[in-house]
Amino acid sequence: MRKLFAIIGHPVAHSLSPRFQQAAFEDVGLDAAYLPFDIAPEKLSEAIDALRTLGVSGFNVTIPHKEAIIPLLDEISPTARELGAVNTVIANDGQLSGDNTDAPGFQTSLETFLATNNLVLPSAAVVFGAGGSARAVLWALARLNVKRILIINRTRERGDALARSLPFLPKDVRTFALDDPSWAEEVHWGATPSPPTRSSGAQGKGGALLINTLSLRAFEGSDTPFPPLWNIPLASSVLLDLSYVSRRPGSQEAGGVTPFLSMGRPFRAPCQNGLGMLLMQGALAFRLWTGQTPSLAAMEEALRQATGQDNLWKSL
């Protein structure tokens, strides 16, 4: 019988997951359908019952259900428990087990991006945002042994609360408000205005990894929406955005240079949008559901067709 996989969220129509998961199922010859279901928060419990009844084999969970779903599941993995968020559910004879592939997906994506562009991990990481995806990013940074982390958020208290709630973080974590530019003094920007490369031998000495997890709303309403980056040497930084929505006049499209990344472009700073993380979290979910390794090439090709972005790993 045809297997059913799904993604639940609200909204979910924009999700690219059905495109590349379906491609991965077809590539391995598994008779499966992967469908999006828009579930309002007050319907979440009913929807989970319905998915059990339908005999779903597995599903992804996106905004705003990643935390709320936890008490509705039969068990959750140590990673999902540590992060307090589930983005992947595996079903076995009606038993639902929650996991989190966002965090390892971000880590794998970052490692692939650095290797592809011959870069080493900068010595400091600056995380903009303190929401659900910032937790996944911080988990990966801790795993990668990044020693100095700055968390910058509109509401500084939320940044403080986030730092306190994650026991795996390194000691050297500081929080700032988004409108306080003094965080830049906490980063050693390096003598040479270029990000550390493997061939330069500048093993993680200078510059910073600047990671945006703020929602697109933070970039609305101005041509120069992000004052905190005006006065820092962006040329020695690496910019990553979890968002993959580029804004072109009159439209919002997936793929390409996001508003955050557009700040690094004039300085030729290496830039990557969130499509790499999206792909890697999806590949890890696929493996949890099927026990098989999906073809990244097939998944990437589906994303290429959906977004027009040629390469997820080369700097934009």
Ligand X SMILES: NC(=O)c1ccc[n+]([C@@H]2O[C@H](COP(=O)([O-])OP(=O)(O)OC[C@H]3O[C@@H](n4cnc5c(N)ncnc54)[C@H](OP(=O)(O)O)[C@@H]3O)[C@@H](O)[C@H]2O)c1
Active site residues: 66
**Calpha distance 70→77 (Å, rounded):** 11
Of the candidate residues 4, 28, 35, 63, the single one contacting ligand X (CB under 6 A)? 63
Nearer to ligand X, 133 or 237 (CB): 133
Q: Which residues in 221-250 contact ligand X (CB under 6 A)?
A: 242-244
- Name 309's Cβ contacts closer than 8 Å, sequence gap at least 6: 254, 255, 256, 273, 275, 303
Among 39-47, 50-58, 152-160, 247-255, the segment contacting ligand X (CB under 6 A): 152-160
* Region of 9-17, 68-76, 154-162, 298-306 interacting with ligand X (CB under 6 A): 154-162
* Cis peptide bond upstream of 181, omega within 30: no
Alpha helices in the chain (DSSP H): 17-28, 44-54, 78-83, 102-116, 132-143, 156-165, 275-290, 296-307
Total chain residues near ligand X (CB under 6 A)? 26
For residues 228 and 150, is the Cβ–Cβ distance under 8 A? no
Q: Which of 101, 26, 56, 28 is nearest to 37 (CA)?
A: 56
Residue among 7, 51, 126, 218 that touches ligand X (CB under 6 A):
218
CB of 72 to ligand X, least distance (A): 19
Q: Nearer Cβ to ligand X, position 97 or 243?
A: 243
Q: How far is the CB of 8 from ligand X (least distance, A)?
A: 14
Dihedral Cα 87, 92, 95, 101, nearest 10 deg: -20
Binding mask 91-120 for ligand X (x = CB under 6 A): -----------x------------------
Give me the torsion for CA of 46, 48, 50, 52, rounded to 10°: -150
Q: How far is the CB of 243 from ligand X (least distance, A)?
A: 4
Residue nearest to ligand X (CB): 131
Q: Which residues contact 115 (CB under 8 A, 6 or more apart)?
A: none
* Cβ distance to ligand X smaller for residue 18 or 274: 274
Residues 6+ apart with CB under 8 A from 128: 152, 153, 178, 210, 211, 212, 213, 214, 260
Shortest spacing between CB 279 and ligand X, in angstroms? 8
Phi, psi of 76 (to 5 degrees): -135, 155
Task: Find out whether 46 and 74 touch, Cβ atoms under 8 Å.
Answer: no
- Nearer residue to ligand X within complex by CB, 216 or 297: 216
Least distance in Å: CB of 63 to ligand X?
5
Please measure the distance between the N-terminal and C-terminal CA atoms of the chain and give it in whole angstroms.
Answer: 43
Contact (CB, 8 A) for 59 and 51: yes
Return the biggest CA–CA distance within the chain: 62
Among 92, 95, 118, 155, binds ligand X (CB under 6 A): 155
Here's the x/- map for ligand X, 267-286, by CB under 6 A: it reads as -------x--xx--x-----
Stretch that binds ligand X, among 15-23, 49-57, 179-187, 212-220 (CB under 6 A): 212-220
When asked if residue 17 is in the footprint of ligand X (CB under 6 A), the reply is no
Which residue in the set 21, 175, 213, 236 belongs to the binding site for ligand X (CB under 6 A)? Answer: 213
| Interface ranges with ligand X (CB under 6 A) | 63, 102, 129-134, 153-155, 158, 178, 213-218, 242-244, 274, 277-278, 281
